[in-house]
Amino acid sequence: MRIIILLLCLSFAPMLLADSAPAWNQLTPAQQQVLAAVQLKWDKMPVERRQQLLQKADKFSSLKPEQQQKMFDRFEQWKNLPADQKETLRRRYKDFNNLPNDQKAEVRKRLEWFKALPDDQKKAMRAKWRSLTPEQKQKMRERFKGMTPAERKAAREQLMLMRKNRVEPTN
C-alpha cells in the first residue's frame, strides 16, 4: 500500500511543479516580454525564484505605461552599475528591511522631505556630504543616531536655515 501511495505521489509531482512554475514556453506572451532578460536562465532557475518572478511580472503588467517605463529605466540604470555599487545597494536594502517599522517610516519620511527640496539645495547637500571625510561622516551619523526624532527634526531645520543663509555649521 505504501508503494502505491509513493508511486501516485511521484507521478503527480511533475504536474504540481509545472503548475507552480511553468516552463518558458508555457508563459503567456506578456509574461515572456516582461521576463525576456532571464529567458536563457528560466528553465534552470529554482521553482521558488520562478514563482517570485512570475508574481512580479504579473504585477508589472498591471502598472500604468508611465510606471512601467520608470521601472524599465531603473532596471537599465541597475544593469549599468558597477558590481561594487550593486553590492552596496543590496546591503543597504537588506539593512533597511531589517529596521523596525517605525524607523522605516522615519527613513521614508526623510526621503520624501529630501525629494521635496529644490534641486539646488539637494545638489548643495550632496556636495557638502561628499566633501566630508569618512570620520566626519561617521561622527555626524553617531550624533544623529543618538537624537530623538524631535531633536533630529530641529537639527535638520537648523541645517536648512543655515544653508538658506549660507552659514556653515560649527562642529
Cβ–Cβ under 8 Å, residues 42 and 50: yes
Higher confidence at residue 3 or residue 68?
Answer: 68
pLDDT of residue 6: 42
pLDDT at 11 over 60: no
Cα separation, 129 vs 152, whole angstroms: 17
Span of 120-124, 135-139, 161-165 with lowest mean pLDDT: 161-165
Cα separation, 123 vs 89, whole angstroms: 21
Cα separation, 51 vs 31, whole angstroms: 12
Cα separation, 43 vs 86, whole angstroms: 25
pLDDT of residue 83: 94
Mean pLDDT, residues 61-78 taken together:
90
- Alpha helices of the chain — where are they, by DSSP H? 2-20, 29-34, 39-42, 47-61, 65-80, 83-97, 101-116, 119-131, 134-145, 149-164
pLDDT at 14 over 70: no
Tell me the pLDDT band of 7, cut-offs 50, 70 and 90.
Answer: very low
The model's pTM? 0.55
pLDDT at 15 over 90: no
Buried b (16+ CB within 10 A) or exposed e, 54-72: beebeebeeeeeeeeeeee
Mean pLDDT, residues 30-50 taken together:
90
pLDDT of residue 1: 53
The tens digit of pLDDT for each residue in 136-149 reads: 989 988 888 888 88
Tell me the pLDDT band of 95, cut-offs 50, 70 and 90.
Answer: very high
